[in-house]
Structure 1
Amino acid sequence: MVLGETLQLLIVVFMAIGLALLLYRFAFQRSHGHALTREARAVPNLPVFLFEGQTLIDATPAAQTIVDRMPTNESEFDALVGFLAPLFPSLPVAIAEMSSNGAQNIVHPDDETLSVRLLRDGPRLRLTLDSAQHVDATLRYKELEEDAFRKEAETHKTICQNAPQLIWQENNEGQVVWANATYLRYADLHVRADENIGQAWPKKRLFSDAPFPIAHDALPLTKRRSLQLHGEEAEHWFNVTSMPTANGALHYAIDANEIMRAEESQKAFVTTISNTFAQLSIGLAVFDRKRRLASYNPAFGDLTGLPASFLVGRPSIEIVLDQLREMRKLPEPKDYSSFREQFSALETAAQQGTYVENWDMPDGQTYRVTGKPHPGGALAFLFEDITAEISLTRRFRSEIETSQAVIDSMPDAIAVFSASQSLVISNVAYSEMWADDVTPDSIAYDLRIALRQWKSGCVSSAVWRRIESFAGSLSEREAWSETVVLKDGRQVACSVTPLKGSMTMVKFTPRTTRSLTLEKLTAPDFALQQRKV
Structure 2
Amino acid sequence: MQFEWMQALVIVVTSVGAAFLALFGLSVLTPRRRAGLAPSEGHLEPVVFLFDEHRLVDATAPARALLDGAATGQSEWARLSAFLAPRFDDFTQSVAQLAQRGRIELTGRDGEDALRLTAEDVNGLARITLADPAAEGCGVTVDGLSLRAQGLELEQLRQTFDHAPCPIWREDADGAVIWANRAYAQQAGVLDALTWPLPRLFEKPSSPVSNPARLRSIIDGHWFDCHSHALGREALHFALPADATVRAETSLREFVQTLTKTFADLPIGLAIFDRQRQLQMFNPALLDLTHLTPQFLSARPTLYAFLDRLREARMMPEPRDYASWRQQMSALEQASAAGYHTETWSLPNGQTYRVTGRPHPDGAVAFLFEDITSEIGLTRRFRAELEMGQEALDLMPDALAVFLPSGELALSNTAYGALWGVEPETTLGILTLRDSLSQWRAQCEIEGLSAALRNRTAQGGRGEAVEGLAQMHGGQTLRWRVAPMSGGATLVSFTPAMVAAAPKEATLP
TM-score bracket, shorter-length normalisation: 0.5 to 0.7
For residues 254 and 346 of structure 1, do their structure 2 counterparts lie closer, same or farther at Cα, with a shift above 3 Å needed?
same
Conservation of the 8 A alpha-carbon contact between 2:481 and 2:493: yes
Conservation of the 8 A alpha-carbon contact between 1:459 and 1:485: yes
TM-score (normalised: structure 1): 0.63
Note the 1:113-132 alignment, pairs <5 A.
none
Decide which of 385, 388, 392 is 2:378's aligned counterpart.
Answer: 392
Query: Could you give the per-residue CA deviations for residues 88-134 of structure 1, whole angstroms, max 9, x where no partner exists?
Result: xxxxxxxxxxxxxxxxxxxxxxxxxxxxxxxxxxxxxxxxxxxxxxx
Matching residue of 1:174: 175
Note the 1:93-108 alignment, pairs <5 A.
none
In structure 2, what is the Cα distance between the partners aligned to 1:145 and 1:400? 104
Conservation of the 8 A alpha-carbon contact between 2:440 and 2:446: no
Kindly provide the amino acid, as one letter, of the partner of residue 200 in structure 1.
T
How far off is 1:351 after superposition?
1.0
Say which SS state the counterpart of residue 496 (structure 1) adopts.
Answer: strand
Matching residue of 1:422: 408
In structure 2, what is the Cα distance between the partners aligned to 1:301 and 1:498? 52
Identity of aligned residues (%): 41
Matching residue of 2:217: 227
How far off is 1:176 after superposition?
2.3
Matching residue of 1:163: 164
In structure 2, what is the Cα distance between the partners aligned to 1:449 and 1:245? 95
How far off is 1:478 after superposition?
0.2
How far off is 1:495 after superposition?
0.9
In structure 2, what is the Cα distance between the partners aligned to 1:211 and 1:476? 85
In structure 2, what is the Cα distance between the partners aligned to 1:286 and 1:364? 26
Matching residue of 2:187: 186
**Length, aligned pairs only:** 368
Conservation of the 8 A alpha-carbon contact between 2:462 and 2:484: no
In structure 2, what is the Cα distance between the partners aligned to 1:255 and 1:145? 38
- Runs of at least 5 residues in structure 1 that lack an aligned partner in the other structure: 1-61, 63-141
In structure 2, what is the Cα distance between the partners aligned to 1:166 and 1:478? 91
Conservation of the 8 A alpha-carbon contact between 1:426 and 1:440: no
Conservation of the 8 A alpha-carbon contact between 1:479 and 1:498: yes
How far off is 1:269 after superposition?
1.0
- Runs of at least 5 residues in structure 2 that lack an aligned partner in the other structure: 1-35, 37-142
Kindly provide the amino acid, as one letter, of the partner of residue 300 in structure 1.
L
Conservation of the 8 A alpha-carbon contact between 2:400 and 2:492: yes
Q: Does 1:207 align with 2:202?
A: yes
Matching residue of 1:351: 337
Conservation of the 8 A alpha-carbon contact between 1:169 and 1:179: yes
In structure 2, what is the Cα distance between the partners aligned to 1:492 and 1:423? 21
In structure 1, what is the Cα distance between the partners aligned to 2:299 and 2:233? 49
How far off is 1:349 after superposition?
0.7
Conservation of the 8 A alpha-carbon contact between 2:268 and 2:368: yes
In structure 2, what is the Cα distance between the partners aligned to 1:336 and 1:473? 66
In structure 1, what is the Cα distance between the partners aligned to 2:180 and 2:218? 19
TM-score (normalised: structure 2): 0.66
Query: Could you give the per-residue CA deviations for residues 183-227 of structure 1, whole angstroms, max 9, x where no partner exists?
Result: 11233379xx9xx6xx73245433341699x9xxxx994312122
Question: After the TM superposition, which of the residue ranges 500-509 and 245-254 deviates more from structure 2?
Answer: 245-254
Decide which of 255, 263, 273 is 1:287's aligned counterpart.
Answer: 273
How far off is 1:295 after superposition?
1.8
Note the 1:117-516 alignment, pairs <5 A.
143-188=144-189, 200-209=195-204, 221-229=211-219, 235-246=221-232, 248-439=234-425, 442-459=428-445, 461-474=447-460, 476-512=462-498
Query: Could you give the per-residue CA deviations for residues 231-269 of structure 1, whole angstroms, max 9, x where no partner exists?
Result: x6xx22222222222452222222222221111111111
Conservation of the 8 A alpha-carbon contact between 2:316 and 2:347: yes
Query: Could you give the per-residue CA deviations for residues 318-340 of structure 1, whole angstroms, max 9, x where no partner exists?
Result: 22222222222111234443132
Say which SS state the counterpart of residue 411 (structure 2) adopts.
Answer: strand
For residues 358 and 376 of structure 1, do their structure 2 counterparts lie closer, same or farther at Cα, with a shift above 3 Å needed?
same
In structure 1, what is the Cα distance between the partners aligned to 2:447 and 2:367? 64
Q: CA RMSD in A?
A: 3.2
Kindly provide the amino acid, as one letter, of the partner of residue 377 in structure 2.
S
Conservation of the 8 A alpha-carbon contact between 1:425 and 1:439: no
Say which SS state the counterpart of residue 468 (structure 1) adopts.
Answer: helix
In structure 2, what is the Cα distance between the partners aligned to 1:503 and 1:416? 7
Kindly provide the amino acid, as one letter, of the partner of residue 374 in structure 1.
H
